[in-house]
Amino acid sequence: MGDHSNYILKVTAGHSYDPTTHEDVHVNSSKPISISSEHIDARIHVRIKDYRGLPKTSPSNSPYFSHPSHTYDRYSIAFTFTPKRHITGQDLVFGNDFDHPIRDRLPPLFDKALGLVKYWVDPGLDGDVLGDEPYLYGPLLSSINIFRVGGKGEDGKELEEDAPKAKPKDGKGEEEVVFEEGAEEDGHEVRKESGMPNDARQRQKWALQEANRTGFKFEEGRTYACDFFNPYLDFNEFALKLGYGLPAISIVSHWDGQPLRYVCDFFCSSLLSVRVSGFIRTISPLQRPIPCLTLLTQHPLPQICA
């Protein structure tokens, strides 16, 4: 589909797939997007390194990437959410899905790349990339890089205020929230009582066990903070860079124009899911397709849970 320099990003957020319900996300800004529905309240921050997208006044980088924990990361989707009903850890997944088949668009070495991702990055990842509605999900508790349990009654804004901040290198501009693994106030007891380790990697390993996920409850009215990031997906070049001796995989070369969604699905029953998701969409100053990351909160999902 051409050189990556012919494409730019647009980032929006809304409560449905209908683009008329979306609003622009403030990429690389300290200002989050707030989303509220009958199921959750959420606040979302999106950071993209070397961002060249819309609006054109958007910063190309964020102080977030100057933080010692994130100097090698290329993007971050950080969010807080407050459920309006109890949800078990078994019923909350995070990953990607598609509306249409991608089996004819998968690049060479994709199977090896996926194997490396499942082995080194997210052992809990599972799904069907060859189906008519492909998906790859993992339990949120094992897939998300950073997970923090808020104190009962705290909202997302308060969690952001309590979190460490990354400062601009030149000392000018806004500081950025950087969530850390752990808990606030009585959230420490929540982690302790469930047996959840305090270390992020150990918590991810712990959450690979179904019994541990089932025993953990996302409480109604309690706010949780999450951060998903990695150094592998380069939105500036629209390429997947896994390393491990593998060449960079161009997304533009294999992209069919449909969204690449990052989804967080809340399975309140086998018929309902509420999600905070992101996907690559199409728009361009020259009426050419370009990627766009969009965040959503509700969409029906194929039943993949018991």
**Is 305 a domain residue?**
no
**The pLDDT value given to residue 2:** 55
**The pLDDT value given to residue 117:** 78
**Is 214 a domain residue?**
yes
pLDDT per residue over 96-143, tens digit each? 888 888 888 887 777 877 887 787 778 888 888 888 988 888 999 999
Give residue for tokens 């090896």.
112
**Is 116 a domain residue?**
yes
**Is 120 a domain residue?**
yes
**Is 87 a domain residue?**
yes
Tokens of 299: 């969409």
Mean pLDDT, range 219-246, rounded to an integer: 86
Express as a percent the part of the chain with pLDDT over 70. 81
Tokens of 196: 């959840």
Which of the residue ranges 23-32, 81-90, 199-208, 288-297 has the most confident prediction, judged by mean pLDDT? 199-208
Q: Which domain holds residue 220?
A: 4-298
More confident residue, 124 or 255: 124
**Is 115 a domain residue?**
yes
- The region that residue 243 occupies, defined by phi over 0 for left and psi between -120 and 50 for alpha, beta otherwise, is left
Tell whether the model's pLDDT for residue 94 goes beyond 80: yes
Mean pLDDT, range 274-294, rounded to an integer: 36
User: Are the C-beta atoms of 136 and 97 separated by less than 8 Å?
Assistant: yes
Mean pLDDT, range 78-82, rounded to an integer: 92
User: Are the C-beta atoms of 105 and 98 separated by less than 8 Å?
Assistant: no
In one-letter notation, the amino acid at residue 278 is: G
Number of domains observed in the structure of the chain: 1
Q: In what order do the strands lie in the sheet with 249-250?
A: 233-234, 239-240, 249-250
Distance between CA atoms of 290 and 306, rounded to whole angstroms?
37
Mean pLDDT, range 164-171, rounded to an integer: 86
28-42, 109-123, 174-188: least confidently modelled range:
109-123
Tell whether the model's pLDDT for residue 95 goes beyond 70: yes
Tell whether the model's pLDDT for residue 250 goes beyond 70: yes
**Is 44 a domain residue?**
yes
**Is 103 a domain residue?**
yes
